[in-house]
Amino acid sequence: MIDTVTILDSPNTTMNKLALEDSAAHDWYRFVLSYPPHLVRYYLEKFGMTPGSTILDPFCGTGTTIVECKKQGIASVGIEAHPMTHFASSVKVEWAVDARDLAEQAEWIAEKAMRTLDRDGMGEVFTRRLLETNGGSGEYSGLRRLPDEQVKLLLRDSISEVPLHKTLVLRSIIDEHADASNRPYFRLALAKALVYAISNLHFGPEVGVGKPRADAAVIGSWLANVQAMSSDLVELQALDLDGVPARAIHADSRQVVDVLEPESIDAVICSPPYPNEKDYTRTTRLESVLLGFFSTKAELQTIKRGLVRSNTRTVYKGDDDDLHVAGIPEIQRIAAAIEARRIELGKTSGFERMYHRVTKLYFGGMAKHFADLRSVLKPGAQLAYVVGDQASYLRVMIRTGQLLAEIAETLGYEVVNLDLFRTRLATATGEQLREEVVVLRWPGAR
């Protein structure tokens, strides 16, 4: 296996930032840890992709690869199991909507929402009125609220009462009055506003809850997002790329053979989850619930079952992906080391007891993905997987890129290189961890 590296640029945290010139469509809604569009362009060029090529992102997320491919005039398809991020990806590659009508209807909806709030005595700035209600208790009986079952799905205190009320008012007006062609953009603009302007969430990079916002400019933040979309659409439509195929499929990345044609893919550019305790459904929980992508614990569990098992909160009885890596000694060694460390440290929580198991399930799920993927790749297809080393499980080092390269090699892929993308500081150990791009080639059936 080739173990040399190519440093793409200065390997530091600035490498992962979204450049201003790339913001159109990409910035409509973006996962906080998304990799940057310039990395996609790098591999499109490195792989020699042309407008006749088709690119796959089997872990599509919020659509960085498929959006950038469309901007470059290259056909693409993404696969994403989470309904919220699948929705975002789908909207971000649809540029045919009337930009002027989008902005004008958004202004009408904003005005209607503000009139509704004013009528109820709850305009954009009414914190003082609220705090004066009921002798300063801060309670107001007229506020709209979520059903208890939905509240239980949210991070506690992730959104305050008044911003939630305003959001529910705006959401209902969008759902009732927006044209079908505009509604997806309005909903995505609301998702972005929820994360960055309305809620109490913060990212560092993990999702957490910060100081409560007693009030928030819900309507204004949403409208600004739609207006930015409208401006972007004017810019994107001028590129005359609407005929470039780009789509996101709601499916499990471990079952690509069920949704793609045989030998239809020229290249893969993606970033799968890493083996750690990051629950990706938690990161997007607020907007997922408020936009109705799931409303019950059972629906959330169904979504989790469609994801590669990268954290203990997605492990279920009956999971057997670990069988796919039973014959890879290094993965078995790491899992055993994690369990031995747990016993040594006396860690006994239910999640800690699953650390060694989720490690095997993660790499087993990725092995299943690589195995299934082979039939949809053209002979000579090139692949780039952005992954990072991890030490989240009791400080036992997991060299994710090296292990995925080894798995791929056992399945017939050629390992071309491990390109160093950047380094980042591990919160658990204080070490600099490598974030790499595993570069593979599929020679074809042998």
Q: Give the pLDDT of residue 276.
A: 87
Q: What is residue 118's predicted lDDT score, i.e. its pLDDT?
A: 84
Find tokens 């909207």 and name the residue. 91
CA distances 240 to 53, 74, 121, 233, 234, Å, are 18, 13, 46, 11, 10
- d(CA 444, CA 429) in angstroms, rounded, equals 41
Strand runs labelled E in 45-151: 54-57, 75-80
Q: What is the pLDDT of residue 11?
A: 47
Whole-model pTM over 0.85: yes
Question: d(Cα 187, Cα 228) in Å, to the nearest integer?
Answer: 14
Residue whose pair of structure tokens reads 């591999």 in the numeric block: 43
For residue 123, the model assigns a pLDDT of 55
Q: How many CB atoms lie within 10 A of CB 382?
A: 22
Q: What is the pLDDT of residue 141?
A: 59
- Which of 417, 404, 333 lies closest to 362, judged by CA? 404
- Per-residue pLDDT, 131: 47
What ranges do the domains of the chain cover?
A: 13-94+242-276+365-442, 99-220
The predicted pLDDT at position 280 comes to 86
Rg (CA), the chain: 23
Helices 99-119 and 183-193: crossing angle in degrees, nearest 10, is: 60
Contact (Cβ atoms closer than 8 angstroms) between residue 366 and residue 272: yes
Q: In CATH, which superfamily holds the domain spanning 13-94+242-276+365-442?
A: Vaccinia Virus protein VP39 (3.40.50.150)
Burial 142-152 (b: 16+ CB within 10 A, else e): ebeebeeeeee
CB 62: neighbour CB atoms within 10 A?
A: 26
Local confidence pLDDT in tens for the 446 residues of the chain: 444 445 455 444 456 678 889 999 999 999 877 889 999 999 999 999 999 999 999 999 999 999 999 999 999 999 999 999 999 999 999 999 999 999 999 999 999 999 999 876 655 445 445 545 544 444 555 799 999 999 999 999 999 999 999 999 999 999 999 999 999 999 999 999 999 999 999 887 678 899 999 999 999 999 999 999 999 999 999 999 989 999 999 999 999 999 999 999 999 999 999 898 888 899 999 999 999 999 999 999 999 999 999 999 999 999 999 999 999 999 999 999 999 999 999 999 999 999 999 999 999 999 999 999 999 999 999 999 999 999 889 999 999 999 999 999 999 999 999 999 988 776 656 678 899 999 999 998 76
CA distance 198 to 387: 31
Phi and psi for 80 in degrees, rounded to 5?
-145, 130
